[in-house]
Amino acid sequence: MDPYKKLAAALESHMAGHASSALAGVPAELGTVTGSGLKLDSFKHELTDYLVADWEMKLKLPAFTLSGTVTGLRDNLGGAVAGSGTFQFEEAEIEPVELMLRDSLKPGDRVLAVPVAGGSEAVVICKVVR
């Protein structure tokens, strides 16, 4: 066997072991948002005070075109302008962009949560759908 391939395989195996042991202590589980809190599938009590992950990131939009209508514009004489047309947008990067998961969660939503503080609290990471 090529000694470089053998070294690469050994390093890959070693790193995979480190990654799996680092994640072994993170017991993510499914839960359901209720009207008054969060019910984890493996815990019989509802958590009334839970945390929700906040996501802030850069949004990169490709160039794209949309067709639509426009109303509410005024010409240089103050007259109303309305009509339909095609709108072309250039590529853009926007930051910071906030994803406000907490504001969009509704009772009945299924979520992925990570129990913390010995299971007395949980952090909702994301909404899950089938």
Can you read off the two tokens belonging to residue 52? 């929700």
33-86, pLDDT tens digit by residue? 999 999 999 888 899 989 999 888 999 999 999 999 988 889 899 999 889 999
Q: What is the pLDDT of residue 23?
A: 46
Residues contacting 61, CB < 8 A, separation 6+: 89, 91, 92, 93, 94
Sequence ranges of the domains in the chain: 57-98
The count of residues in the chain is 130
pTM above 0.75, yes or no: no
Q: What is the pLDDT of residue 119?
A: 74
104-122, pLDDT tens digit by residue? 999 999 999 998 887 778 9
